Amino acid sequence: MHVCIRYIFIVTFLKENNNLDSLLKPYTVYYRNFENIRIENCFYASDAYEARTLAIKFNKYIHDHPNSIDLIKCENDEFFNKVSY
Per-residue pLDDT of 30-48, as tens digits, reads 999 999 999 999 999 999 9
Rounded to an integer, what distance in angstroms lies between the CA atom of residue 30 and that of residue 42? 9
Range picked from 17-21, 22-26, 55-59, 80-84 for highest mean pLDDT: 55-59
Average the pLDDT over 18-34 and give the result. Answer: 82
Q: Which of 45 and 1 is assigned the larger pLDDT? A: 45
